Amino acid sequence: MKRFFAVGLVLSLLPACSLAPKKPRLENHALRLELDRSDASARLLDKRTGEVWALGSPRLVMKDKSTVAVRPLGDVTVRGESLTYHTEQGVQFQFRLANDPAAIECSFDKGASDVEDVLLVDKGLQIGLGTDSYYALPYRMGILLYADGNKPYTRRMTNYGGYSMAMLGVVRNGSAMLTTWDDPYTTIVADYATDPQRTLSLSLSLRRSAHSVHFQPLGHGGYVEIAKAYRPIARQRGYLKTLAEKMKENPGVARMFGAADFKPFVLSRRVANTPYNQTGKERVSVNYTFQECADLAEHFAKDLGVDRALLVLAGWINGGYDNRHPDILPAAPEAGGNQGLIECSRRVQGLGSGWVFGLHDNYQDFYENAKSWNEDYIMKNPDQSLQAGGVWAGGQAYLICSRKSVDLASRPQNVPMVKKLFNPDVYFADTVFASPLFECSDSKHPLTWVDDLHYRTQLCDYLRKQVGLFGSEEGMEWGVSHADYFEGLMSRRRPNNDIIVPLFEIVYGDAVSIYTHQSDRASVDNPDYILDHVLYAEMPVYRFGRHHYWTRAAQSSRQQLTQRPIDESRAVFARGGHSTNLTDQFIKNTYEVLSSLGRVTALLPMTDHRFVTPDRKVESTRFGNEVNITVNYGQADYTTSRAVLPQYGFIIESPALVAFYARSYGALKYSEPALFVIRSTDGQPLDSSHQVRIYHGFGDKRVEFRGNTLEVETERIFSE
Ligand SMILES: [Zn+2]
**Residue 324 vs residues 342, 377, 397, 399: alpha-carbon distances, Å:** 21, 15, 9, 13
Q: Note whether 286 and 293 are within 8 A (CB).
A: no
Distance 204 CA to ligand 1 centre (A): 28
Q: Note whether 684 and 654 are within 8 A (CB).
A: no
Residue ranges per domain, the chain?
23-236, 263-363+402-520, 606-719
Distance 706 CA to ligand 1 centre (A): 64
**∠ CA 521-460-367 to the nearest 5 degrees?**
75
Phi, psi torsion values for 256, nearest 5 degrees = -80, -15
- DSSP letter string, 411-465: STTTHHHHHHHH--SEEEETTTTTSPP--B--TTS-B-HHHHHHHHHHHHHHHHH
Report yes or no on whether pTM surpasses 0.85.
yes
Q: Note whether 432 and 462 are within 8 A (CB).
A: no
DSSP-derived 3-state class of residue 218: strand
The span from the CA of 513 to the CA of 599, in Å, is: 11
pLDDT computed for residue 554 by the predictor: 74
Q: Return the bridge partners of 106, or none.
A: 95, 213
Phi, psi torsion values for 12, nearest 5 degrees = -70, -20
- Give the β-pairing of 260-262 and 309-313: parallel
Residues 6+ apart with CB under 8 A from 59: 67, 68, 69, 70, 118, 119, 122
Beta strands in 28-152 (DSSP E): 31-35, 42-46, 51-56, 59-62, 67-69, 72-79, 82-87, 92-99, 102-108, 115-128, 134-137, 143-145
Residues 6+ apart with CB under 8 A from 25: 32, 33, 34, 35, 78, 83
The span from the CA of 670 to the CA of 644, in Å, is: 10
pLDDT computed for residue 258 by the predictor: 98
DSSP-derived 3-state class of residue 710: strand
The span from the CA of 457 to the CA of 634, in Å, is: 41
Distance 408 CA to ligand 1 centre (A): 13
Distance 379 CA to ligand 1 centre (A): 5
Nearest to 603 by CA among 627, 584, 621: 627
Distance 448 CA to ligand 1 centre (A): 9
Distance 432 CA to ligand 1 centre (A): 16
Phi, psi torsion values for 551, nearest 5 degrees = -85, 155
Protein residues with C-beta less than 5 angstroms from the ion ligand 1:
401, 440, 442, 445, 447
One-letter amino acid of 187: T
pLDDT computed for residue 552 by the predictor: 77
Nearest to 114 by CA among 46, 66, 157, 156: 66
Phi, psi torsion values for 680, nearest 5 degrees = -80, 130
Query: Counting Cβ atoms within 10 Å, is residue 333 exposed (0-12), middle (13-18) or buried (19+)?
Result: exposed
Residues of the chain with pLDDT under 50: 1-18, 559, 561-562
One-letter amino acid of 610: R
Q: How far from chain centre, in Å, is Cα 378?
A: 28
Distance 38 CA to ligand 1 centre (A): 45
pLDDT computed for residue 19 by the predictor: 57
Distance 316 CA to ligand 1 centre (A): 28
Q: How many CA atoms lie within 13 A of 446 on its CB side?
A: 4
Show the DSSP H helices in 106-249 as ranges.
Answer: 159-162, 223-236, 243-249
Phi, psi torsion values for 42, nearest 5 degrees = -120, 145
Distance 447 CA to ligand 1 centre (A): 5
Return the CATH architecture of domain 23-236: Distorted Sandwich (2.70)
The span from the CA of 341 to the CA of 331, in Å, is: 7
Q: How many CA atoms lie within 13 A of 328 on its CB side?
A: 30
**Residue 220 vs residues 125, 227, 347, 366, 373: alpha-carbon distances, Å:** 16, 14, 55, 51, 57
DSSP-derived 3-state class of residue 245: helix
| H or E stretch at 158 | strand 153-158
pLDDT computed for residue 157 by the predictor: 96
Q: Return the bridge partners of 360, or none.
A: 428
Nearest to 657 by CA among 258, 305, 259, 309: 258
The span from the CA of 119 to the CA of 106, in Å, is: 12
DSSP-derived 3-state class of residue 311: strand
Distance 612 CA to ligand 1 centre (A): 49
pLDDT computed for residue 553 by the predictor: 73
- Give the β-pairing of 51-56 and 638-639: unpaired
DSSP 506: H
Distance 455 CA to ligand 1 centre (A): 10
DSSP-derived 3-state class of residue 208: coil
Distance 162 CA to ligand 1 centre (A): 22
Q: Note whether 512 and 480 are within 8 A (CB).
A: yes
Q: Note whether 444 and 403 are within 8 A (CB).
A: no
Distance 402 CA to ligand 1 centre (A): 7
Phi, psi torsion values for 203, nearest 5 degrees = -125, 145
Distance 371 CA to ligand 1 centre (A): 21
Distance 619 CA to ligand 1 centre (A): 46
The span from the CA of 603 to the CA of 596, in Å, is: 13
Distance 452 CA to ligand 1 centre (A): 9
Query: Counting Cβ atoms within 10 Å, is residue 634 exposed (0-12), middle (13-18) or buried (19+)?
Result: middle
Neighbours of 58 (CB within 10 A): 24
Q: Return the bridge partners of 632, or none.
A: 618
Q: Note whether 529 and 540 are within 8 A (CB).
A: yes
**Which class is 263-363+402-520 in CATH?**
alpha beta
Q: Note whether 669 and 710 are within 8 A (CB).
A: no
The span from the CA of 671 to the CA of 94, in Å, is: 68
The span from the CA of 546 to the CA of 654, in Å, is: 38
Distance 438 CA to ligand 1 centre (A): 9
Distance 464 CA to ligand 1 centre (A): 23
